Structure 1
Amino acid sequence: MTPAARLQAAIDLLDAIIAAARDGGPAADTLIARYFRERRYAGSKDRRAVRDHVYAAIRRAGDRPDDGRAALVGLARERPDLAVLFDGSPHAPAPIDPAEPGAPAGAVPGWIAPLLAAPVEQDALLGRAPIDLRVNRLKATPADVAPLFPQAQPVPGLPDALRLPEGTAVEQGEAWALGLVEVQDAGSQVLGAACGARPGMTVIDLCAGAGGKTLALAAAMGGKGRLIAADTNRARLARLSPRAQRAGAISIETLLLDEGHEAQGLEPLIGQADVVLIDAPCSGTGTWRRNPEARWRLTAARLDRLVATQARILDFAAPLLAPGGRLVYAVCALTDREGRDQVDGFLTRHPGWRAVQGAVGVGRAHGRGWLLTPGHDGTDGFFFATLVHG
C-alpha cells in the first residue's frame, strides 16, 4: 500500500467505526481486525500505519465526526505530513478543499464536559495507558515477580502493582501463563484494597463481570472464607472459571442473576456479607485512554439509564451486609451523576448509613468518596466510596 492508500484505508475504517458508534455496532478493534482479514495483501507495516492514523483521528475528536473523511481532514490540518497525501492519486483520498469542514479537536464530547467531576484533567483522557500488573499473592510475591519484568516500575501506594510500558505483551509470557500476575489497572487495584477483604470473611463481588476484581479479592482472602462472584451476564461470568483456575483461586462461587430480579436471587445472602463490592455498570468515561472511540458511543439517554441502574443496584445490595460490614461502591466513570451524586442519593434513601473515608495513598477526596484520575494518579478514572450502616 502506498502512504496515500493507507490514509484512504483509514478513512474507510473510520466510516465503519463512526457508523458502529452511532448504531451500537462492533468496537473499533474488531472492525480493524475484520478489515485486514479481508485484505491479506496488506503487510504488517501497512496495518500498523493504518491503525495509527485511525486512532490518531479518534483520539483527536471529542465529538463524533460526520464521517471518516471529516475526521482525517481535521487531523491533516494539524499534520502537514498527512495533508500532502490527499492528492487524488489512485487509491488516495481526493484533495482537501480549503472550505471543506474537518472534525474539530476536543478531549471530550461537548455535552458531557459540564458533567465531569471538577478535578478531572480532560486532556489526560486522551493519553495512552500503561500496562499495570497485579502480583497474585496466592502464587508469588512482588520480589519473586520483579526479576521477570526488568522494565517494570513500582506503583506508589500499591505494593502488589508493577507498571510496564504501553504495548507490553504480558499474556504471551510465562509469568502470566503460570498465574503469577494478572493484568489489572492500578485504579482497579485500589478498589480491591479499599474493600479490606481478609481471610475468613464472606465477600460478594456483585457486578463481577469476568472477575478481575474477584481474583484480587481472592488473593486478599488467601483462599479462606466465602467469595461469591455475581453477575447478570452469563458470557462474562463464564470467563471467570479459567482465570480462577490459572490464578489458583479455586474456591470462588459464581452466581448468575436474572436482570431485573436480582434481589430474589440474592435473598439467601441477606445479612451475610462482610464486604459487598459494586463495580457498577457505568459510562466508562474513566477508561477513555484505552477505548477512545467510546466517547462517540455515549449519549445523554444512555447515561440516564446507567444512573438509574446504579441506584437500583445500590438499593438491593444494602440488605446483604452483616452488622459492621462495608459496601464499596465504584464506577470507572468521572461524571458526578454516577459518583458523588449517586452516593448522596443512596444516603438520602437509606437513613442510618454513612460514608467512611480512609487514606488510600493515591487519589483525592471527592464528596463523600474518593476520585482517581489519569492526570492526577496515572490510573484509569474511578470514583469509589465505602458505606457502612450505623
Structure 2
Amino acid sequence: MTPAARVQAAIEIVDAVLVAARTGGAAADTLIARYFKVRRFAGSTDRREVRELAYAAIRRAGQPPVSGRAAMIGLAGDRPELADLFDGSRHGPAAIDPAEPVAPAGVAPDWLVGRLTKALPPDEWPALMARAPLDLRVNRLKADREAVLALLPDAVPGLLSPDALRLPEGTAVEATGAFRDGLIEVQDEGSQLIALACAAQPRMTVVDLCAGAGGKTLALAAMMDGEGRLVACDVDRGRLARLWPRAERAGVGRIETRLLDGGRETEALADLAAQADVVLVDAPCSGTGTWRRNPEARWRLSPARLDRLVAMQQHVLELAAPLVRPGGRLVYAVCSLLAEEGRDRISDFLASNPHWSVVSSVAAGHPAGAGRLLTPANDGTDGFFVAALTAPC
C-alpha cells in the first residue's frame, strides 16, 4: 500500500467505527481485523500503519465526527506530512477542500465535559487518551512475581499491586511459555487492586456477582488458594463460558458458575442469602475509565444510556447486599470516572443502609466519597471507582 492508500484505508475504518458506535456494532479492534481479513494484499507494516492512523484520528476527536474523512482531516491539521497525502492519487484520499468539515480536537463529547470536570482536574484529561500499558497479574497458584520476572526479562514490577508486572506495549504475551502455562493473566493493575480490596482468603464463601469472562474471579481464586466456595455469576452466557478455558489454564478447578436470568436474579441467588464472606459487584458501566484502550467508547455513550446504566448499578447493589453475611464485605467497583456511577451510588446505598460501614479499599487513588478513584494520570491504571463496605453484625 502507498502512504496515501493507508490514509484512505484509515478513513474507511473510522467510518465503520462511527456506524458501529451509532448502532451498537463491534469494537474498533474487531472492525480493523475484519477490514484486513478481506484485504490480504496489505502487509504487516501496512496493517500497523493504518491501525495507528485510525486510532490517532479516533483519539483526537472528542465529539463523534461527521465522517472518517473529517476525523482524518482534523488529524492532518496537526501533522503537515499527513495533509500532503490527500493528493487524489489512485487508492488515496481526494485533495482537501478548505470548505470541508473538520473534526475538532477534544477529550469527550460536549455533554460529558461537565461531568468529567467534576471527576478530574483538566490536567489529568490528556492521560485518558494516552495509550494503555500492558499489565499482567502473576497467578499465585502457580508462581510468584520473582519467578515470572526471571522468565520475562522485559517485564518490570507494578507499583501498586504485589502481583502486577508491566511489559512493553505490543509484547506477544500469549506466545510466551509463562502465559501458556497459566503463570500469568493479562489484567490492568487497577483491576488487580479491586480484587485485592475484597480481602478474600482460603475457606471463605466469595461471590463475583458480575463475573463476565472471569478476570477478577481468577484473581479471587488465587487469593483463596483454591480453598473455599467461589461463585461466579453473570447474565451473559457467552461471556461466562469464556471463564472455563481460562480457569483450566490457571489451574483453578473449584468455581461454581451461575447464569442469571434478568428479573429473576433474587430467586436464583436465594440459597446464598447472608452466606457470603465477600460479594464483589464489578458493575456494568459506561467504561469512561477505559478510553485509552477503547477511545471510540466515548461515541457510544449517551445521556439515556448513562441513565440506564445507573439504574442497573443500583439494581445490582440491591441484589448483592442481602447475600453478605453479618460482618462480611461488599465491594463495589466500576471502570468509570463519573460520580453518578461511583461515588453517588455508594452515597445513595449508605443513605438507605445506614448500619453498613465503610472500610479502606485501596491505598491508591483520589478520595471519592466513601471510595477511591483510580486514574491513568494519578495511578498509571485504567480509571476505576472502588469502595468496600462491611455489613452490620
TM-score (norm 2): 0.97
Structure 1 position 100 matched with structure 2 position 85: no
Structure 1 position 45 matched with structure 2 position 48: no
Q: Tell me the amino acid that sits aligned with residue 264 of structure 1.
A: E
Contact 1:332 1:382 in 2 (8 A): yes
Q: Tell me the amino acid that sits aligned with residue 104 of structure 2.
A: P
3-state SS in 2 of match to 1:338 = coil
Partner of 1:63: 63
Contact 2:232 2:257 in 1 (8 A): yes
Partner of 1:6: 6
Query: Tell me, which stretches of 5 or more residues in structure 2 are unaligned?
Result: none
Q: 1:149 aligns with which of 147, 152, 175?
A: 152
Q: Tell me the amino acid that sits aligned with residue 357 of structure 1.
A: S
Q: Tell me the amino acid that sits aligned with residue 382 of structure 1.
A: F
The structural deviation recorded for 1:364 is 2.1
Q: Tell me the amino acid that sits aligned with residue 77 of structure 2.
A: R
Partner of 2:91: 91
Aligned ranges 1:281-296 → 2 under 5 Å: 281-296=284-299
Partner of 1:159: 162
The structural deviation recorded for 1:203 is 0.3
Aligned ranges 1:13-24 → 2 under 5 Å: 13-24=13-24
Q: Tell me the amino acid that sits aligned with residue 119 of structure 1.
A: L
- How many Å separate the matches in 2 of 1:9 and 1:89? 13
- How many Å separate the matches in 2 of 1:188 and 1:244? 17
1:178-230 Cα distance to aligned partner (Å, 9 max, x none): 11111110001100110000011100000000000000000000011111101
- How many Å separate the matches in 1 of 2:358 and 2:110? 32
Partner of 1:385: 387
Q: Tell me the amino acid that sits aligned with residue 67 of structure 1.
A: S
Structure 1 position 264 matched with structure 2 position 264: no
Partner of 1:253: 256
Contact 1:108 1:122 in 2 (8 A): no
1:127-169 Cα distance to aligned partner (Å, 9 max, x none): 0111111111101111211111111111123211111111111
- How many Å separate the matches in 2 of 1:316 and 1:29? 34
- How many Å separate the matches in 1 of 2:259 and 2:75? 45
- How many Å separate the matches in 1 of 2:51 and 2:240? 31
Contact 1:340 1:366 in 2 (8 A): yes
The structural deviation recorded for 1:119 is 3.0
Contact 1:281 1:310 in 2 (8 A): yes
Partner of 1:367: 369
Query: Tell me, which stretches of 5 or more residues in structure 1 are unaligned?
Result: none
- How many Å separate the matches in 1 of 2:352 and 2:378? 32
The structural deviation recorded for 1:46 is 1.5
- How many Å separate the matches in 2 of 1:291 and 1:84? 29
- How many Å separate the matches in 1 of 2:102 and 2:227? 58
1:21-73 Cα distance to aligned partner (Å, 9 max, x none): 11111111121111111111122222111111101101111111010110001
Percent of aligned positions that are identical:
64
The structural deviation recorded for 1:363 is 1.3
Contact 1:274 1:322 in 2 (8 A): yes
The structural deviation recorded for 1:263 is 1.0
The structural deviation recorded for 1:348 is 1.6
Partner of 1:177: 180
Contact 1:206 1:278 in 2 (8 A): yes
Q: 2:314 aligns with which of 311, 316, 320?
A: 311
Farther off after superposition, 6-15 or 234-243: 6-15
- How many Å separate the matches in 2 of 1:248 and 1:361? 30
- How many Å separate the matches in 1 of 2:225 and 2:12? 50
3-state SS in 2 of match to 1:159 = coil
- How many Å separate the matches in 2 of 1:181 and 1:5? 39
Partner of 2:213: 210
Segments ≥4 residues shifted beyond 4 Å: none
Structure 1 position 299 matched with structure 2 position 299: no
TM-score (norm 1): 0.98
Q: Tell me the amino acid that sits aligned with residue 269 of structure 2.
A: L
Farther off after superposition, 113-122 or 59-68: 113-122
Partner of 2:354: 351
